[in-house]
Amino acid sequence: MTPPVNGLGLSTRQGIVDGLNRANDDAAVTSIVITGAGGAFSGGADIKEFGTDKSLQEPNLHSVIAAVENSPKPVVAAIHSVCMGGGLELALGCHYRVAAPGCSVALPEVKLGILPGAGGTQRLPRVLGVEAALNMIVSGEAIKSEQKLFDKLVASPEELAAEALAFAQSVADVRPLPLVRNLPCKHPQGDAYFQFARNMVKGMSKNFPAPAKCVDAVEAATKRKFADGLLFERELFINLMWTPESRSLRHLFLAERAASKIPDVPSDTPKRDIKAVAVIGAGTMGGGIAMNFLNAGIPVKMLEMKQEALDRGIATIQKNYEAQLKKGKLKQDKYEQRMALLSTTLSYDDLKDADLVIEAVFEEIGVKEAVFKELDRVMKPGAILASNTSTLDVNKIANFTKRPQDVVGLHFFSPANVMKLLEVVRGDATAKDVLATVMAIAKKIKKTAVVSGVCDGFIGNRMIEQYGRQGGFLLDEGCTPEQVDKAMEKFGMAMGPFRMGDLAGNDIGWAIRKRRYTEKPDMKYSKTADLLCEKGRYGQKTGAGWYDYVPGKRDAIPNAEVVKMIEDHRASLGITPRKISDEEIVQRLVFALVNEAAYILEEGIANKASDIDVVYIFGYGFPVYRGGPLNYANEVGLFNVVQAMNRFAKNPLDDAAFWKPAPLLAKLAAEGKTFN
Ligand code: T1G
């Protein structure tokens, strides 16, 4: 047993082989049952071992499965809860399989950028059929206890042990022992089917090499002898293991789970009970925030100042749900259940029983002060008071109350009912049990939460400001918005910086820059974005921004006037435009994120580098196959990142001071290290 999921690490693999040998050496034993203690049969190979010698050390998983297949006594897998990856491959190597109902059974390796590497692509088609097996392997999705995969499905998990033992006794004398590897594996229209499969997979797996290799491996199962197919699978597996895409996916698998761990908040910290939530503000953010809790079955009371604002807020929530109903993503009964959990009020006094209150009011410190003073007055002791602020100082907000220890930032990303990222902003006084509670409630509402310290812009927006600044300099130096956006979208960003500005609203950045011009007068900015906003071109919400938009459509249509505005501005600065490569565009924008992230790490605003990757993947559309800005910098090599930054610092039109590598980055680069 290796909690939490019986990952098949070296010690577990050794334990299985030792157990098999003991059982086969014991004359009293007539047949053998393998199962997993705790909450899983097995979650597969130990992902934490990947890339280390342990994962290849004998007995490797192939050897364990060979030991099972060559056992002179029958080996029965007693499967429950979770049977995934190498765990399912181990079960397929057993002579028999007995399962409890409701198990989650999958070969999810493709989600890690690899493919089943211990015979799954060769054995699964032999028991499930080629097409069903290929679907499972290419999607990585789980199926519930699939009858054809198992020799017996017991009535309930509680009966599994006894039933599996009885089954093992019933087959003790059956010979020859059945081996999945000896089953036939054919497809009647193999060539046509696999061509079709390749075309399908090609369309869905841009930038990810693994799915196409899954097709090759399963096709080999139908065309080669078992042993040859196994070797072919092994070759494909090892090659995929070393792709940057797989390294990124494995990094993110662990990073997302590590984000919920806060170094100085033990995982057994008692959590407060959150049975009812209040939301202040029924605008776009307030409505989206409320939906997250309604979706998780938690009642929400929404407060506004005026009835019509409440009515508008309710109508927006209904519209969002009705859109999901239309797409078949939500059932009518669920919709009604969720709406029944929503209530509204115009009076703060009605909020007093809520366990968590989240304000999503106008982003102005005076408004926040009024709200938090009221909340301090009405909310019961122990209630958590959260602000959805995206830039304001959570410590200041906490000090508007007499209970700063109960105050925390919950920065949702718009649209709040869709974006997975949640920045949990930890104030100086925020209590540890408040943090533990909000991290747990984040998981309940299916958010990926990352803890940030208090600074302007927290983690994501602080970094995106530098990213946007570089975008502005590039326009001054010779690029068009479209060229920058296309370069970044080719790199893999969901949206380039200018399309993103048009989506979020260029006036938001404008307001921040106006603050900067007074706070940090020496911080250099291109004036182009201000010129654009002075024309009222705030983006999609005004029908025009860097691009033009047709009502109801999101296509960004380049606008000649905007390009001319940029050219005229460039001329007014006496700048001769130069041709700028896509590579320089990508490096300046991404390395700007990396340098600011290094400061964020050394200031302790973020606890670990992987948290910053999680913020950018789940909140800013950074490409998953690059694993996040810091993982990408690791792949490029921090030495090379610093070299590029030194080049950028020599550009008189850029901001040389900014390109001085953050001390942490300079240190890691000099020592040949990575952010990990
Ligand atoms: N290896 C190591 N640790 C694992 C793990 C694994 N396979 N699966 C889960 N964990 C850890 C996870 O990091 C977290 O750790 C804790 O368990 C709870 O996870 C040869 C090579 C099994 C459905 O891809 O899908 O087999 O944060 O929060 O929501 O072909 O974990 O507590 O320190 O996700 O209940 C293939 C991946 C491996 C399964 C449970 N297997 N895991 O979900 O808990 S490759 C997978 C999952 C392979 C062979 C190849 C889920 C789960 P910590 P959790 P959960």
Side-chain half-sphere of 461: how many Cα atoms within 13 Å?
24
Residue 141 is a catalytic residue = no
Residue nearest atom 42 in ligand 1 by C-alpha distance: 43
Whether residue 559 contacts residue 547, with contact meaning beta carbons closer than 8 Å, is answered with: yes
Structure-model confidence comparison of residues 87 and 52, the more confident one: 87
Distances (CA, A) of 62 to 117, 184, 228: 8, 21, 14
**pLDDT of 50 strictly over 90:** no
Task: Give the residue whose CA is nearest to atom 49 of ligand 1.
Answer: 86
Q: Ligand 1 in contact with 501 (CB < 6 A)?
A: no
421 C-alpha to ligand 1 centroid (Å): 21
> From the CB of 287, is ligand 1 less than 6 Å away?
no
Residue of 42, 191, 619, 392 whose CA lies nearest to 409: 392
Judge if the beta carbon of residue 84 lies within 6 A of ligand 1.
yes
Q: Judge residue 239's burial from the number of C-beta atoms within 10 Å of its C-beta, 0-12 exposed, 13-18 middle, 19 or more buried.
A: middle
Q: Which residues contact 315 (CB under 8 A, 6 or more apart)?
A: none
569 lines ligand 1 (CB under 6 A): no
What are the Cα distances from residue 14, in Å, to 8, 19, 74, 639? 9, 9, 19, 40
- From first CA to last CA, the distance across the chain in angstroms is 29
Tell the residue nearest (CA) to atom 54 of ligand 1.
257
Give, as one character, the DSSP assignment of residue 598.
H
pLDDT greater than 80 at residue 467: yes
pLDDT tens-digit readout, 521-579: 888 999 999 999 999 999 998 999 999 999 888 899 999 999 999 999 999 999 999 99
Decide if 616 contacts 628 (C-beta within 8 A).
yes
Tell which atom from ligand 1 comes closest to the C-alpha of 140: 24
1, 2, 5: residue to mutate for ligand 1 pocket, most atoms within 8 A of CB: 5
Q: What is the pLDDT, as a whole number, of residue 205?
A: 86
Residue 43 Cα to ligand 1 midpoint, Å, equals 5
Q: Cβ(458)–Cβ(423) under 8 Å?
A: yes
DSSP letter for each residue of 110-177: GGGTS---SSHHHHHHHHH-HHHHHHHHHH---EE--GGG-SEE-S-GGGHHHHHHHHHHHTTT-SSP
At residue 1, the 3 state secondary structure works out as: coil
Nearest ligand 1 atom to the CA of 107 is 36
Q: HSE (CB half, 13 Å, CA atoms) of 550?
A: 3
> Ligand 1 pocket, 4 CB below 6 A?
yes
Whether the bond between 74 and the residue before it is cis, its omega within 30 degrees of 0, is: no
Mean pLDDT across the chain, nearest whole number? Answer: 95
Helix (H) or strand (E) holding 311, with range, is helix 307-326
Q: How far is 42 from 3, CA to CA, in rounded Å?
A: 10
Q: What is the mean pLDDT of residues 291-316?
A: 96
Tokens of 605: 């605003």
Q: Is the pLDDT of residue 130 over 90?
A: yes
Name the residue with higher pLDDT: 503 or 292. Answer: 292
Query: Among 12, 42, 47, which is best to mutate for testing ligand 1, by the most ligand atoms less than 8 A from CB?
Result: 47
Taking only the tens place, the pLDDT of each residue in 629-669 is 999 999 999 999 999 999 999 999 999 999 999 999 999 99
SS3 call for 12: helix
544: which 2 tokens? 């025009």
Q: Is 113 in the pocket of ligand 1 (CB under 6 A)?
A: no
Distances (CA, A) of 599 to 93, 275, 463, 521, 606: 50, 38, 10, 20, 10
Residue 217 CB less than 6 A away from ligand 1: no
Q: Check if 105 has its Cβ closer than 6 Å to any atom of ligand 1.
A: no
Contacts of 387 (CB under 8 A, 6+ apart): 358, 359, 368, 372, 394, 397, 407, 408, 409, 410, 425
Q: Which residues of 564-603 are buried (b: 16+ CB within 10 A; e: fewer)?
A: ebbeebbeeeeeeeeebeeebbbbbbbbbbbbbbbbbbee
Paired with 407 in beta bridges are 385
Measured from the Cβ of residue 37, the count of other Cβ atoms closer than 10 Å reads 10
- pTM (global) more than 0.85: yes
Token pair listed for 137:
């392997």
pLDDT of residue 56: 81
The angle, 0 to 180 degrees and rounded to 10, between the axes of the packed helices 120-128 and 86-93 is 60
Q: What is the largest CA-CA distance in the chain?
A: 93
Q: For residue 448, list its beta bridge partners.
A: 421
Tens digits of residue pLDDT in 70-110: 999 999 999 999 999 999 999 999 999 999 999 999 999 99
Amino acid letter, residue 103: C
- Distance from residue 176's CA to the centre of ligand 1 (Å): 35
Residue 186 CA, chain-centre distance (Å), reads: 38
Q: What is the 42 CA–ligand 1 centroid distance (Å)? A: 9
- d(Cα 158, Cα 364) in Å, to the nearest integer? 57
Query: Per residue in 599-615, pLDDT tens?
Result: 999 999 999 999 999 99
* Three-state DSSP class for residue 13: helix
Residue in this structure with the two tokens 């000090």, named with its chain if needed: 399
Closest CA to ligand 1's atom 36:
85
Phi and psi at 76, nearest 5°, equal -110, 130
Pick from 381, 380, 361: nearest CA to 371? 361
Query: What pLDDT, on the 0 to 100 scale, is given for residue 414?
Result: 87
Catalytic residue among 49, 58, 69, 89: 89
257 CB less than 6 Å from ligand 1? yes
Q: Can you tell me the distance from the alpha carbon of 581 to that of 145, in angstroms, rounded to the nearest whole number?
A: 53
Amino acid at 353: D
In this structure, the chain runs to a length of 676
Q: Can you list the pairs that 168-171 forms with residues at least 24 positions away whose Cβ atoms lie under 8 Å?
A: 168/31, 168/32, 168/33, 168/74, 168/76, 168/96, 169/30, 169/31, 171/31, 171/74, 171/76, 171/95, 171/96
- The answer to whether residue 284 scores a pLDDT higher than 90 is no
**Residue given tokens 């197919």 in the structure block:** 229
pLDDT value at 2 more than 80: no
The predicted pLDDT at position 1 comes to 65
Q: Which amino acid is at 631?
A: N
d(Cα 598, Cα 435) in Å, to the nearest integer? 24
CA-112 nearest atom, ligand 1: 24
Amino acid identity, position 602: E
Q: How many Cβ atoms sit within 10 Å of the Cβ of residue 342?
A: 20
CA of 70 to the centre of ligand 1 (A): 28
Residue-wise pLDDT tens digits, 373-401: 999 999 999 999 999 998 899 999 999 99
Examine the pLDDT at 356 and tell me if it is beyond 80.
Answer: yes
32 in helix, strand or coil? strand
Is residue 235 predicted with pLDDT exceeding 90? yes
Q: Ligand 1 centre from 257 Cα, in Å?
A: 10
pLDDT band at 520 (very low <50, low <70, confident <90, very high): confident
Q: What sign has the CA pseudo-torsion 34, 36, 41, 47?
A: negative
92 within ligand 1 shell (Cβ under 6 A): no
Q: Residue 617 C-alpha to ligand 1 middle, in angstroms?
A: 20
3-state secondary structure of 106: strand
Q: CA 484 to CA 528: how far, in whole Å?
A: 14
* Catalytic residue (choose from 69, 109, 233, 596): 109
Q: If you search the block for the tokens 């938001």, which residue do you land on?
A: 508
Q: Is 361 in the pocket of ligand 1 (CB under 6 A)?
A: no
pLDDT, mean of residues 9-31: 97
Sign (positive/negative) of CA torsion 414, 415, 416, 419?
Answer: negative
Helix ranges (H only) for 26-116 are: 61-69, 86-93
- Residue 371: closest CA among 481, 286, 495: 286
